[in-house]
């Protein structure tokens, strides 16, 4: 059974870049697309963006100018970079596996990232 785990700093300073990695184990990166989702404390889910194993990406228009997602198929990982962060970017960040026809079927537990000086 596939498992996903988010890793990265839990604290980022305002104006700096948030970087997270999602490691996929028990399955291949190929054949799916891989998403980042976040959830501010006490609020709902916000889709950030996704990447195919081919490297093609799509991003939430509200974040597009600051976000990039990349994939490392050799290490079964994909990553998120969010630049120029503010307190509004404080959230639990989830990564998930998605099938074009079957939805987001596997999720990481998520990691809290706090933006604060």
Partner 1 sequence: DSVLTQSPGTLSLSPGERATLSCKASQGISSSYIAWYQQRPGQAPRLLIYGGSNRATGTPDRFSGSGSTTDFTLTISRLEPGDSAVYYCQRYGSSWDTFGQGTKVEIK
Question: Applying CB under 8 A, which residues contact partner 1?
Answer: 35, 37, 44-47, 50, 58, 60-61, 94, 98, 100-105, 107-110
Residue with smaller CB distance to partner 1, 10 or 100: 100
Closest CA to 36 of 54, 18, 9, 12: 18
Least Å from the CB of residue 66 to partner 1: 16
CB 6 within 8 A of CB 108: yes
Residue with smaller CB distance to partner 1, 74 or 101: 101
Residue with smaller CB distance to partner 1, 102 or 116: 102
Half-sphere exposure of 68 (CA within 13 A, CB side): 7
The DSSP code for 117 is -
Q: What are the φ/ψ torsions at residue 74 (nearest 5 degrees)? A: -70, -30
Least Å from the CB of residue 47 to partner 1: 5
Residue with smaller CB distance to partner 1, 17 or 25: 25
Least Å from the CB of residue 74 to partner 1: 26
User: Per-residue DSSP letters for 67-90?
Assistant: EEEEEEGGGTEEEEEE-S--GGG-
Least Å from the CB of residue 43 to partner 1: 9
């Amino acid at each position: 059974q596939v498992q996903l785990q988010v890793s990265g700093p839990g604290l980022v300073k305002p104006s700096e870049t948030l970087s997270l990695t999602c490691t996929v184990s028990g399955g291949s990166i190929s054949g799916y697309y891989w998403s980042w989702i976040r959830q501010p404390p006490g609020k709902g889910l916000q889709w950030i963006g996704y990447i195919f194993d081919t490297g093609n990406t799509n991003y939430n228009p509200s974040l597009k100018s600051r976000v990039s997602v990349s994939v490392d198929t050799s290490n079964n990982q994909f990553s998120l970079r969010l630049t120029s962060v503010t307190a509004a970017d404080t959230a639990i960040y989830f990564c998930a596996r998605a099938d074009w026809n079957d939805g987001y079927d596997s999720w990481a537990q998520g990691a809290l990232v706090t933006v604060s000086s």
